[in-house]
Structure 1
């Protein structure tokens, strides 16, 4: 099924910009106790020598044996995941001025038709629509730039505060010179003299040609003003669009991005700029107003202010490994780093430990407790062992790195609705956590496992519709081809032995009867409900084109790891019953009772709940404090490249 995109909310103000607008099969016998299941393989378990001997001696049909004995077997196919693209920017074109109402004017506005300005096509269309109906300039009055223009220029200069690049909107203001004023007074006489000098016998065309002369200082100033008028109009519309939906189209970044780009009613921008009491304030009002975006903006402002008085960074060795009871001369740096990076709550709780520490190399019990407290605070396993993950958390991200992450996050926040809803689920892949919100507040969050770098989880939004208890696992074609097929070509009984169900063209068959050298497109494989099922005891579905959902897992140990990009792309939940109960509106006990019945059961979610499968390396927690995460897939880098390409295309 194709994933759905929720409609974007509209925000209305006095001068607001209108935005956005389980298939059943016949069961096959369960695998023998000694069989190596797919889950065993996923956990890294290997067959014993005895099991290998037993598996090799499995009886196969003559046809199967001939198939396996081919001296020149067909090469194994491979299903590859999506790729990252070279970003293609919005095409630029010149604003068409021929139909402007000002083209027939006799004053300075007649030069508006001669202005040459390039802009993205939709921005150019909005500018053309406005000046095609209204020849009155917005930003020029009485031969000079007006206050409205200065107000717009002032907000464009602050573009960086909204995560934008001020260079995209920079524009020079024409200067009014004494020569222009003096020449302007003499201009009518010069024009009359030129007309009188034309011989009466000349044709109209010759007469027009005879009056062409180098532009006087006053005329050149008028031309500069009209060039500025049109350019600032285009910049204002572009700024409005960037504020509302971001600068780049996420779907051009990679095949892992699947987000419908917001549509913005650009036709309303210039009319509102012309009528708003404060044009700059109107443009500023188009920025997202969600608590998340405002928290990101405030953090960016704070870091930029603090970067002017940068502190000396605490240096700790990258290769340090320290266990309770060990000694290290670097321990004092570790304690200093915790004191710098830890929260005020942590510092208060362990104030006595900080005060009593004498900078000795002994990793004593009280220091172990301090480290455990820090680990728990930053979401790491609180075991007191100081290793690479703990050191990274202590060292933290540099201020510049944080600011870069914030700019990317502010861009990405504009790809989602400004109002995420009063009830929704947010999956943040770099944080390895999922958050459940209800009544406008975060109710709980939990650890998750997301796709590995070679099987990345997508960035998209959808709606939760169903919770399936005691689920079947429909094996994706990528796993059938990439992981199962090599084994099936050696042993066509492989899936039969493991208890998987195989269907060809809608008919249940034994895996040993399938030609595993042909196409697998018509072959369906699924694993029946069991304690060893890859999906555990439940899955939570939000049908989408990427076959991604949330589910339980028998591999509970994965949740103890700090780096949890380990799955084939779906999202594994540390507390699946808790999430299922929340979206169904029932108790965990009731969920458990139904699971205990052992029957496959699909339960419809009473009210469809938005789910945002997102990717933010900077995102505020429930208290509004922005947290920073590692870029596990390297997507921030891809976004930065797209932003740079966009600015370059715009001529910044």
Structure 2
């Protein structure tokens, strides 16, 4: 028997010749031999002139994952000492044009600035610390404009008194008055030391200007730079603030309070949150406070249960009282979640608009017991800070998605024209916090699978089943756009970088459903339909990979396009297509655990991603940096 190459098993020449004569592709030769011998052939070095061994496959790469963004330990910029040395030689050019606001009028400081120049010596040895931009603005402004803004004669003037009142009232905006503290110089003595008085006044002038600029920055932009909180969950543009022009405006206005207050967001939501903050501070603590993190299933025990049952019993209506009054009366003090109490909880959940699943969790506690006063105060202050990151005028029309509420709304002309349930990202695939502008509606869309999903979820399966994507209705293309069968790719050769694009074809199984609404952003987040409709029935709807799934996608598409739902239905009949949104419709993919309804009533939501704690850490770090020199 002739042998073609040395192996641990002898192969009949007739069998192998027949196989080769049939023209079996080389890619399938190893499979044939595996089937023939029950396992891979173990090759030795071939004899000279014999058939060469099959080519080696690329080595397998160890499994890898693309990690999600992470949160950072917030580190604010350190304060710097203001360098007043440049003020010793006042400049005569470079003054900045005053801010052209309605309130920037009616006051002209002394033209010669003689008293100011004489007082400059009082800055020798004076240590004033401020943010870097503020420190530069002080030197730049007073070099070009050597005169007092806040002092007239030997006393702080009326504008200074008005500015100090606003700074001291910072708490009404959810800010900390300690960040803007300025010590008033003592009243001038009739026969006092003129040089010492000049020193007090020039230092007061600089301190007040520095803290007013800080206040204006915080009112307009917020105390916190949200983009520093995380490596990839926030994206907010800078709001330009010309601090030199701001001081110029303040030097010309007698309406300081109006000017400073105009720097805060000028929208009804901000005002509603301020009103809520004032009401909370004047209110009493809840009579009964239930642990907001309570999670209790039937059969389990908790000392928090009697509190919740007491609240349900206290608020019984006739229907619930007739059905469950006796049960509550008998078991109101029970710490064990007995089977008899399950229908009571389910009825209370249904009454509160929740899914009646009988499980007592944070949303049930929030709906039935509310949250503590301290928790609500904190959430309102976080919301005020977060609103300062956004435009002062939110725009109309607009789309507003509030992730903790799991809702998406279309708002126009001060009315909520459309509101629907939404599904947001899982805790491991969080939806980002940003705003953008809606650009297009895509009908019967392809789904371009993100690299993170290819690597983290598809690749492990493809290593053992390379043809999976072909069978599941996906297209695979290389970097040049050439389509390649999934089964022809050695997926085991790739780790965290896969050099192929994968997209799912339109159809009933498509992850995006029948349409998507695009607003290009660096997170590749958009709104879309979904075939998984059952998720909208749940109270907690965090199931996506980061995009926002809509309960009524046709309604939202019609709203942003300014069309009817029938129009959208007709477009869908035409198959895959795309339509541009021709008007300006901003979209806010927002994260507020306290947010007002259109009527001004503030509602509270659980912090599903734990972002309030990250914001509090940032606030604390900022306060610590400011504290020693504020």
Q: Settle same-fold status: TM greater than 0.5.
A: yes
Instruction: Tell me, yes or no, if structure 1 residue 136 matches structure 2 residue 147.
Output: yes
Partner of 1:95: 82
1:392 deviates by: 3.6
Q: Aligned match of 2:609 in 633, 642, 646?
A: 633
Mapped partners of 1:481, 1:63: distance in 2: 28
Mapped partners of 2:404, 2:435: distance in 1: 16
Q: Aligned match of 2:119 in 104, 109, 112?
A: 109
Instruction: Tell me, yes or no, if structure 1 residue 438 matches structure 2 residue 401.
Output: no
Instruction: Tell me, yes or no, if structure 1 residue 75 matches structure 2 residue 62.
Output: yes
Mapped partners of 2:579, 2:64: distance in 1: 37
Range with greater deviation from structure 2 (584-593 or 624-633): 584-593
Contact 1:112-1:230 within 8 A present in 2 as well: no
Mapped partners of 2:303, 2:115: distance in 1: 82
Q: Deviations over 1:343-398 (max 9, x none)?
A: xxxx9xx478679957534879997896256322xxx22x3746323234222221
1:155 deviates by: 1.1
1:453-464 mapped onto 2 (5 Å cutoff) = 453-464=427-438
1:146 deviates by: 3.1
Instruction: Tell me, yes or no, if structure 1 residue 155 matches structure 2 residue 166.
Output: yes
Mapped partners of 2:343, 2:358: distance in 1: 13
| Alignment size in residue pairs | 543
Q: Aligned match of 1:387 in 360, 379, 384?
A: 360
Instruction: Tell me, yes or no, if structure 1 residue 267 matches structure 2 residue 240.
Output: no
Q: Deviations over 1:421-460 (max 9, x none)?
A: 1101011111111111122321111111111111111111
Q: Which runs of 5+ in 1 are unaligned?
A: 1-59, 185-217
Mapped partners of 1:621, 1:160: distance in 2: 23
Instruction: Tell me, yes or no, if structure 1 residue 421 matches structure 2 residue 395.
Output: yes
Mapped partners of 1:610, 1:535: distance in 2: 22
Mapped partners of 1:368, 1:571: distance in 2: 30
1:292 deviates by: 0.7
Partner of 1:558: 535
Partner of 2:503: 526
1:500-515 mapped onto 2 (5 Å cutoff) = 500-505=474-479, 506-515=481-490
1:84 deviates by: 1.4
Mapped partners of 2:560, 2:243: distance in 1: 38
Contact 2:507-2:513 within 8 A present in 1 as well: yes
Instruction: Tell me, yes or no, if structure 1 residue 605 matches structure 2 residue 589.
Output: no
Q: Higher relative CO (CA 8 A, sep ≥ 6), structure 1 or 2?
A: 1
Is the partner of 1:642 in helix, strand or coil? helix
Tell me how large the CA RMSD over aligned residues is.
Answer: 3.4
The TM-score normalised by the length of structure 2 is: 0.78
Contact 2:366-2:605 within 8 A present in 1 as well: no
Partner of 1:403: 377
Cα distance, 1:650–1:368 mapped onto 2, change above 3 Å: closer
1:512-591 mapped onto 2 (5 Å cutoff) = 512-516=487-491, 517-518=493-494, 520-591=497-568
Q: Aligned match of 1:126 in 114, 120, 137?
A: 137
Cα distance, 1:161–1:511 mapped onto 2, change above 3 Å: same
Instruction: Tell me, yes or no, if structure 1 residue 166 matches structure 2 residue 143.
Output: no
Mapped partners of 2:516, 2:251: distance in 1: 54
Q: Deviations over 1:139-172 (max 9, x none)?
A: 2334333333222111111111112111111122
Partner of 1:310: 285
Q: Aligned match of 2:198 in 218, 222, 235?
A: 222
Contact 2:69-2:233 within 8 A present in 1 as well: yes
Mapped partners of 1:361, 1:592: distance in 2: 55
Partner of 1:192: none
1:637-652 mapped onto 2 (5 Å cutoff) = 637-651=613-627, 652=630
Partner of 1:47: none
1:183-222 mapped onto 2 (5 Å cutoff) = 183-184=192-193, 219-222=195-198
1:404 deviates by: 0.8
Contact 1:332-1:360 within 8 A present in 2 as well: no
1:23-102 mapped onto 2 (5 Å cutoff) = 61=28, 73-100=60-87
Cα distance, 1:481–1:222 mapped onto 2, change above 3 Å: same
Cα distance, 1:338–1:535 mapped onto 2, change above 3 Å: same
Mapped partners of 1:101, 1:72: distance in 2: 71
Contact 2:288-2:307 within 8 A present in 1 as well: no
Instruction: Tell me, yes or no, if structure 1 residue 470 matches structure 2 residue 457.
Output: no
Mapped partners of 2:149, 2:346: distance in 1: 65
Cα distance, 1:339–1:399 mapped onto 2, change above 3 Å: farther
The TM-score normalised by the length of structure 1 is: 0.76
Is the partner of 1:436 in helix, strand or coil? strand
Is the partner of 2:581 in helix, strand or coil? strand
